[in-house]
Structure 1
Amino acid sequence: MAQTTRETTALQHDLVRALQEPGTWTWAYVDASGNREDPRRIAALQRRSVSDGLKEQGGSARAIEVIEEELVEQPGAPAPVARYVLVRDDELVLSEVLPGHLRGQESIGTGAVPDLLPLLAHRPFDLPFLVAVVGREGGGFRGYRLGHAPSGDPEDEQRIQGRTDTLHYAKAGTGWKQPHWQAHTEEIWKQTAGEVAAALEETVRATSPRLIVIAGDIRARELLRGELSSSTRSLVTEVAVDPRADDASEKALVQHVNLALARVLASRRHDVQDLIRTHEGRGDNESVSGIGAVVSALQQAQAAVVALDAGALGDRTLYALDAAPWVATAPEQAAGAGVLGQVPAVCALVRAIVLTDAELVLVNAASLPSGAAATALLRWPVGPAVPA
């Protein structure tokens, strides 16, 4: 059986609870980058475009007003950055700043089922990571989750202040005490690095991050790495900047973090594709391919991971349901649940993925053995085929 693990964040728990109640959803997913010429004017025009588009689709005046109010707020993160706002029955459910370029096209709409693909495209699974900045006088680190920029509000922050009585090597030619003071200074730096490392190790045990980014003074980074356990060092990537120095250095840190996260996501996608190839090659019934088979797995909460090519779904539609099994290919599959409507397949599938606590991995269908637009790795295998 395919072994997969996934910790659901508090945000996702809130979203699941909201999705379990029927209502009218209104949403907007737009580029919120501020590095454009005359950004205030462009942002105002964008809000007007969003409002006009939602009015044309029949969005309520209050829901549109709520979205406008959220889009007025500055994202507080360096470009590129996107914004996703979700409203149900005129009440705000989510307002998220999503670092990075848009994942696909902008999306605005209103209806019985929201378009959650942009949100999950930025945050396909729970990925905690740490960003540490160290110097010879001490250091600190912050904990984040995928989709939150290093310049945003951290989930956890710790700072370690080391001794500052001797921070620099003595200059050449300062007398017979020079070697003694150099050794003394090095010992202080090492002691400080050990304190930072101890706090970092404790946080690693508590949060199980997938990535640790270390920035700051080159010697302080070297000492910190030396104090870390081998398992923690395997998570580390270094960036040769000190974000405390200037805006350019902070931007360089953000770019490095984004690239490192992209590598983690690419590695996860590669692992999922390898698992799919393995199970399909074995024919061990631990994966299924095709829209119908994936819908059936989601109906039973059997899908652990769904590999999806959203573009390959085209204009395909599915039925969204107001209770479990949440999604169906035809009304007669509703199993007693109410039919919310016939909606784009990508919206119905992503909603069911969230509601059944599965993991979404976006892929190119051509990279999968079956070439299907949707494939699922299962929590338990399907039974053997019934003989004719």
Structure 2
Amino acid sequence: MAQTTRETTALQPDLVEALQAPGTWTWAYVDASGNREDPRRLAALQRRTVSDALQQQGASGRAVEVIEEELVEQPGVPAPVARYVLVRDDELVLSEVLPGHLHGQESVGTGTVPDLLPLLAHRPFDLPFLVVQVGREGGGFRGYRLGHAPSGAPEDEQRVQGRTDTLHKVKSGNGWKQSHWQQHTEEIWKQTAGEVAAALEEAVRTTSPRLIVVAGDIRARELLRGELSAATKALVTEVAVDPRADDASEKALVQHVDLALARVLASRRHDVQDLLRTHEGRGDNESVSGIGPVVDALQQAQAAVVALDAAALGDRTLYALAAAPWVATAPEQAGGVEVLGQVPAVCALVRAIVLTDAELVLVNAASLPSGAPASALLRWRVGPAVPA
């Protein structure tokens, strides 16, 4: 049987808890990049546009004020960057800076169910990673998580200072003295690399990163790699820059990290799509395709991973419920639970995915079995069909 490791949701537990209680939600997901001509004026116009849109949709005056106040604050992160603000019953629930370009269109609205898709598009699952910088004098690393702004304090940061009594190999002279000092210096570098590697191995043990990016001096990188275990080495990708050198090197490191993270996400998406095709071909009842079957699986908390093409859902709607099973295709499917209302299918599905602790993978419908806009890998098999 094909297997997949289900990833952990990247949403905060308090947000998941807040979603379980009925209320009126108001949200704004906008581009907050400051690398534009006259950024203050454009930011003010953006806030006015958001406020007007929310007022037209019937948002309360207080909710609009809360969102405006959050959008005034500068993100403090290099462009491109987005901002997501979420309010429930006039109280701020979430205000997040999301590094990177907008994932899809801006979203501004109010209703019984929030649009969580932008947040999960930036943070599809909990993906910790480490950025390591090494040199002849020592090294260090910082721990981050996908979709979290790097301007804040990193989740883990360590620095190892090596011996500095002999850092440079002798380039002139001859005889035993030159050889002696070269060997002595190499031993210092190797010892320092071993200390950095030991700290890094401990961080890998405690944080379980999916990616380790190593930058810095080429010889220091070689020595560090030689000190790492095979399991840790498999997570490493190297970038041939020293980010301390200049702004261009720092930018090159950021770009390398972005590309490396994109490869991890693409690999995850490919794995899920491959498993869905495998189960579909086998007919082993370990996956379902189509909105109706996926809703059925979510109602039973049976869906482990939901692959979704938000654009392919179009204007379809589903019914959001006040309690489990959280979502229904029709009011009579609610099982006696209060129906909050008929909402966009993407909002209802994403909310149910979060509340049943499933994983969301955003895909193109063309890659899914039968071209369905939604498919799911199941926690347990669907039972055999009941004879008519």
Deviation (angstroms), 1:335: 1.4
Q: C-alpha distance in 2, partners of 1:201/1:183?
A: 26
C-alpha displacement of 1:32 = 1.0
Q: Is the 8 A contact 1:84 1:95 kept in 2?
A: yes
* CA distances 1:231-282 after superposition (whole Å, capped 9, x unpaired): 1111111111222222222222111111110000000000000000000000
**Inter-partner Cα distance in structure 1 for 2:278 and 2:113:** 35
Q: Is this contact kept in 1: 2:9–2:124, CA < 8 A?
A: no
Partner of 2:179: 179
Residues 117 and 86 of structure 1: CA distance in aligned 2, closer, same or farther (over 3 Å): same
Instruction: Report the Cα distance in structure 2 between the residues aligned to 1:245 and 1:62, rounded to whole angstroms.
Output: 48
Task: List gaps (5 residues or longer) in structure 1.
Answer: none
Q: What residue is the counterpart of 1:4 in the other structure?
A: 5
Structure 1 residue runs of 4+, over 6 Å off? Answer: none
Match of 1:113 in 2: 113
Partner of 2:385: 385
Aligned letter for 2:7? R
Contact preservation (8 Å) 1:305, 1:378 = yes
The answer to whether the Cα contact below 8 Å between 1:31 and 1:106 also exists between their aligned partners in 2 is: yes
Q: Residue by residue, what CA displacement relative to the aligned partner does 1:86-141 show, whole Å, maximum 9, x if unpaired?
A: 11111111111111111100000111100000001111111111111111111111
- Quick one: which amino acid aligns to residue 102 of structure 2? L
**C-alpha separation between the residues in 2 aligned to 1:8 and 1:373?**
21
Amino acid at match of 1:25: W
Q: 2:57: which partner in 1?
A: 57
User: What is the CA-CA distance between 1:174 and the residue it aligns to?
Assistant: 7.6
Q: CA deviation at 1:4?
A: 2.8
Which residue is 1:210 aligned to? Answer: 210
CA positional deviation for 1:283: 0.2
Encode CA deviations 1:318-345: one digit per residue, 9 max, x unaligned.
Answer: 0001100000001111112111110000
Q: Report which stretch shifted further, 180-189 or 245-254.
A: 245-254
Which stretch has the larger CA shift, 320-329 or 88-97? 88-97
- Is 1:135 aligned to 2:135, yes or no? yes
Is contact 1:170–1:181 with CA below 8 Å preserved after alignment?
yes
Which amino acid in 1 is paired with 2:164? T
Pairing of 1:358-369 with structure 2 (within 5 A): 358-369=358-369
SS at match of 1:249: helix
Whether 1:266 aligns to 2:275 is: no
Question: Per-residue displacement from partner, 1:264-314 (whole Å, max 9, x unpaired)?
Answer: 000000000000000000000000011000000000000000000111111
Correspondence 1:166 to 2:176:
no
Report the counterpart of residue 154 of structure 2 in structure 1.
154
Q: Could you list the per-position Cα deviations for residues 180-216 of structure 1 after superposition, in whole angstroms to 9, with x for gaps in the alignment?
A: 1111111111111111111111111111111000111
Q: In structure 2, what is the equivalent of residue 26 of structure 1?
A: 26
Cα distance in 1 between the residues matched to 2:330 and 2:101: 36
Determine if contact 1:241/1:253 at 8 Å carries over to the other structure: yes
In the alignment, what sits opposite 1:200?
A: 200
Deviates more, 1:336-345 or 1:11-20: 11-20
Matched to 2:376, the amino acid is A
How many Å apart are 1:5 and its aligned residue? Answer: 2.6
Count the aligned residue pairs.
Answer: 387
Please provide the CA RMSD for this pair.
1.4
Amino acid at match of 1:6: E
C-alpha deviation, 1:147, in angstroms: 0.4
Cα distance, 1:220–1:262 mapped onto 2, change above 3 Å: same
Between the aligned partners of 2:149 and 2:67, the Cα distance in structure 1 is 22
Deviation, structure 1 residue 175: 7.2
User: With structure 2 as the length reference, what TM-score do the two structures score?
Assistant: 0.97
Structure 1 CA distance for aligned equivalents of residues 380 and 255 of structure 2? 40
Q: Which moved more, 1:38-47 or 1:244-253?
A: 244-253
Per the alignment, residue 290 of structure 2 pairs with 290
Distance 1:174 1:66 in 2: 73
| Aligned AA (1:5) | R
8 A Cα contact 1:25 1:114, kept in partner: yes
TM-score by length of 1: 0.97
Counterparts of 2:250 and 2:90, CA distance in 1: 38
* 8 A Cα contact 2:138 2:192, kept in partner: yes
User: How many Å separate the matches in 2 of 1:149 and 1:262?
Assistant: 16
SS in 1 for 2:323: coil
Return the letter of the residue paired with 2:6: T
